[in-house]
Structure 1
Amino acid sequence: MSPELLRSAYGALSALVTDLMPEEGDRPSGCAGWAVLDLTQHLLDDARRGLVALATPAGGPPTTDAVAYWRSWQPSPEDDDSTAWRTRVRASATGGMPNLAPLYAETAAAVCVAAGRADPGELVATQGWVVRAGDLASTLAVEATVHHLDLVAYLDRPGPPADGLAEVRRVLEGLLGGPLPAGWDDATAARRGTGREPLSGADRAALGEWAARFPLFA
């Protein structure tokens, strides 16, 4: 994946986060149980993950890629609750969106610079995996795009860029091993593929036996 896709996803998300009003940090998001402020803290954590990974060279061979990385993301309800609680505690200590938003924006910008300087085939380490820098950039863009949808779920704000949504769909179809229903636009594919929107009866009929595999990651 080219660094332009990551710059697009992170640029749009940074613009959204820095434009939010302080009181909007308390609004719910599309990530069940997470407020906008909590989710922004999580996004900062992921940007930091990317920055650390891009500065952590690893020996080969790669142990995951842009698609396979997501197969491990099927957290249990207990894991979700624990992560949400820890994130909320840290987010509550930031002083709210006016303090957290610029910190996210500057960290995201640094990640984009680092990704632009990296050879896409360079091997780096993240979360116990060895991955090519280009594939790492995809995971960061996918995470940012899905959570961009979450942030605007209850806000009248612009959604993520089309190129990020297309990358989410590509990853979901890679996990599924075939095409998602043609009637789903890319935003719908992102929400349904990650369990944020339930499958309808028509969806299940179109997917057939594949429906049992949803969500493809959470």
Structure 2
Amino acid sequence: MRLAAIYTQVTDVVSPLGESDLGRPSRCAGWTVGDVLYHLLLDARRALVTLASPSDGDPDVDEVTYWRSFRPGGEGYDNHAEHVRQVTAAYPPGALGREWRDTAAAAVRAAQACLYEKVTTQGHVLRTEDFVSTLVFEAAIHYLDMTVDLPGAPPPDLTPTRAVLDGLLGATVGWDDETYALKGTGRLPLSPADEAELGELSTRFPLTG
């Protein structure tokens, strides 16, 4: 299961980190490794609620279209960023990693055991498998964010990430998976050569934030 794989990889990377390593910079402006981990913890908590929230409605988004409304610096971004920084700073040493480990494992078990065909979250209805795919996408991107200053961290499987980005773009590009993930989500800017190669498609970047 891809969710188990990426959540386990996050756990394996953060488990040996001390407080100084959790304070290292991430790719998310103004956030440390610990801040990104707490942001991911919020996602795992939401998964526990969502996987116990069935819906009889028709899905209004899928694993691709769910991401179209997420733009860098969108509404509420600054407030959320500050909330994350403040709460992360309030954790006693070791507590954030332990809570992530326990919650992530519970979210994986909940996903494996969920019998509902459709679930609801954030005002949307999705097929359960599409919702789980959104968790995988977010965890893989934030794994790249967390490990930018953690030499030796193994790369994540970005195959599902590429599939989502292709769906958002409506085309494929020849970049390697990590470059595509970082440019597709606005972590890296497009170069003039990228813009020339993409043509009109370049106006769609970043594809999501």
TM range (shorter): over 0.9
Distance 2:73 2:28 in 1: 15
Partner of 2:167: 174
**Percent identical residues:** 45
The letter for the 1-side match of 2:8 is G
* 1:99-178 → structure 2 map (5 Å cutoff): 99-119=95-115, 122-162=117-157, 165-178=158-171
Distance 1:44 1:157 in 2: 23
SS at structure 1 position matched to 2:125? strand
The letter for the 2-side match of 1:200 is S
SS at structure 2 position matched to 1:124? strand
- Does residue 2 of structure 2 align to residue 5 of structure 1? yes
Alignment partner of 1:63 out of 51, 60, 63: 60
SS at structure 2 position matched to 1:19? coil
Distance 1:134 1:198 in 2: 31
Distance 2:73 2:178 in 1: 24
SS at structure 1 position matched to 2:76? helix
Distance 2:73 2:14 in 1: 28
Q: Which runs of 5+ in 1 are unaligned?
A: none
Contact 1:13 1:160 in 2 (8 A): no
Contact 2:59 2:124 in 1 (8 A): yes
CA deviation map 1:143-195 (0-9, x unaligned): 00000000011121414422xx1111110110011112x1x111111001001
User: Displacement, 1:26?
Assistant: 1.2
Q: Which runs of 5+ in 2 are unaligned?
A: none
Partner of 2:71: 74
Distance 2:154 2:146 in 1: 9
TM-score of the superposed pair, with normalisation by structure 2:
0.95
Q: What is the RMSD of the two structures over their aligned residues, measured on CA atoms?
A: 1.4
* 1:82-97 → structure 2 map (5 Å cutoff): 82-96=79-93
Partner of 2:34: 37
Contact 1:149 1:159 in 2 (8 A): no
Distance 2:40 2:106 in 1: 14
Distance 1:33 1:78 in 2: 17
- Does residue 196 of structure 2 align to residue 205 of structure 1? yes
SS at structure 2 position matched to 1:102? helix
CA deviation map 1:28-61 (0-9, x unaligned): 1011111111111101001111111001111121
Contact 2:143 2:156 in 1 (8 A): no
SS at structure 1 position matched to 2:15? helix
Distance 1:58 1:78 in 2: 27
Distance 2:74 2:127 in 1: 31
Contact 2:72 2:186 in 1 (8 A): no
Distance 1:122 1:138 in 2: 14
Deviates more, 1:188-197 or 1:68-77: 68-77
CA deviation map 1:40-88 (0-9, x unaligned): 1101001111111001111121111100100010143663322110111
